[in-house]
Amino acid sequence: MIIIKDGNETETFEEIKDFTEKYTKKQGLGSRDEMHINLVMEEMMEITRLSGNVNDRCFNIDGDGHLCALTMELTPGTLQDISFESLSGVSQKLKVLLGTSFETVEMNEKAAEEIGVRRADKETLLEMDCEDVEEAYLWTLDSYNMASFNKYIDGDEEDWVALSASILSALTKEVRVLILKGCILFSVILDFDSKAGEKKSYGISPEFAALSKVPVVKTRFQVKLVELMYKGLPKKVTAPLGMRLDRFEIPVPTSTKGQIETLVYVPFAVKDKKDAPVILFLHGGANLFPALPYHYKLAENLAKKTGCKVMLPMYDLAPYRQPPVQIKETFEVYTELQNNPEKYAIDPGKIFVIGDSAGGTMAAAITLLARDKGLKMPKGTLLLYPSLDMRFKTDSMNSFSDVPVINGDSISAIRKIVHSDREEGLKYHYSPAEVESLSGLCPMYVETAEFDALHDEGVEFAKRLKEQGNVVTLNETRGTVHAFDMAKDSSIQRAAVDARADFIKGLLN
């Protein structure tokens, strides 16, 4: 254990770096892992330094090579007048907790619960080598998030954005603050399970190597960071060269606001037409995430390559609104386009519906609902690496548990955040593969990614569509992973966009 005192941080930092180097060699970790430890350790020192009411600090590293725990033991001050209710922002809460005391939390226990502080259970105490401790409080990033995720607090967003750049949130498995009667343990756990030597070997194309760096989202905290980072994009998007960008507030009764903001990419070739063909593009993101930059780029490319208007609705997100709300909302958008085509200058007989991932769920559901409710069917439906079967029993779901972007493990984690009303929507809402009949549908394009946990359900859905008499195009892309559209410089991705555009143009000609 290394003791850190005010004024000797620089010398201590060098001492800890030597300590870290010896630890990584002993555990058989690589230089990248050593860098991660040093970065997190440096940030821990900075956070505890800024906590204010902290006296002595002691630093230690422990682990088994797979999991590495960095622990800072703090001697707290004696403040007794902290009002947790007045605290705003995650970073401020963390700093205050590191500088408070057991007695302070005990006096404000109910208010502390509001920011995720709870009595530590015996299992946690044992895990943190505190089995002899009778009483302690525990705070984690995840428990904070669970306590306040559904609350919008004025002025809190900037703090979330600041924390999104934090090395802690980017590199760690877990952040914990254990408040004991005599000290505070600030613990950060790193998970080195992703070392190259421990991963399965796949045939993923080198064109998608950069996607291995995309964080695999598994917690509510990470979901919140993604949301805050990208939810403002619709306001910032500008018209691409050669087209106009319109904005509509489409009436949607199911939405909390009664309407949904929708961007419309309008190629100059159809800007004066009163009956232009249109693509209703339902973006993916597990029902949790807003449209990401690659969705906007894909919408732009589809508009350029097909000459169609492309509409991108910003439907409500879980966990604020749980499925099947998203399917209901997007179906109401489709219904509005069918009922009032002149308002949007489109041809109701030339509406294509396309969706990627969870957007594929919505696209499939809309097609089935249109058939059964007597609405005009889409001209064609395109499902890109779609999520179609909520039974999660396919071979690919089990086989691809550690591939980039989305995998079997992350899907299992996301299921704990996103809850669907399966009693209400077993057939169409959320699990289209479970519908009894797939007959009588419009031409369908199904595209799968080779190394994707959702691969098999896409192939099986296409097979059933064909068996039941539908016109089906199945494009099984090779060397690809889920959401490979992120790799905009990939020749495989460009070929896939061309195949989608060709399917649409073939139905228009």
Backbone angles phi, psi at 208, to 5 degrees: -110, 20
Q: Which residue has the tokens 């063909």?
A: 277
Which CATH code of 3.40.50.1820, 3.40.50.720, 3.40.50.300, 3.20.20.70 fits the domain covering 240-508?
3.40.50.1820
Closest CA to 187 of 99, 97, 60: 60
* CA 310/CA 500 separation, integer angstroms: 13
Report whether 363 contacts 334 (CB < 8 A): no
Helix, strand, coil in percent for the chain, rounding step 5: 45, 20, 35
> pTM of the predicted model, to two decimals?
0.70
* CA 69/CA 189 separation, integer angstroms: 4
Our CA dihedral for 36, 42, 48, 50, rounded to 10 degrees, sits at: -130
Strand stretches in 199-328, DSSP E: 243-251, 259-267, 276-282, 309-313
* CA 350/CA 307 separation, integer angstroms: 12
Domain ranges of the chain: 2-198, 240-508
* CA 40/CA 26 separation, integer angstroms: 19
Torsion-angle region of residue 4: left (phi > 0), alpha (psi -120 to 50) or beta?
Answer: beta
Q: What is the pLDDT along the chain (509 residues), one digit of tens a residue?
A: 576 665 566 667 778 788 888 888 888 887 777 877 887 887 787 777 766 666 677 888 887 767 788 888 887 765 545 566 655 555 667 777 887 888 888 888 887 887 778 899 888 888 888 888 889 999 886 655 444 433 433 344 444 444 444 555 555 667 888 999 888 898 888 877 644 444 566 899 999 988 988 878 877 767 877 887 888 899 999 999 999 999 999 999 999 999 999 999 999 999 999 999 999 999 999 999 999 999 999 999 999 999 999 999 999 999 888 899 999 999 999 999 999 999 999 999 999 999 999 999 999 999 999 999 999 999 999 999 999 998 888 999 989 988 999 998 889 888 878 876 655 655 677 899 999 999 999 999 999 999 999 999 999 999 999 999 999 999 999 999 999 999 988 999 999 999 999 999 999 99
Residue 76 has a CB neighbour count (10 Å cut-off) of 22
Buried b (16+ CB within 10 A) or exposed e, 323-344: bbbbbbbbbbbbbbbbeebeeb
H or E segment and range at residue 135: none
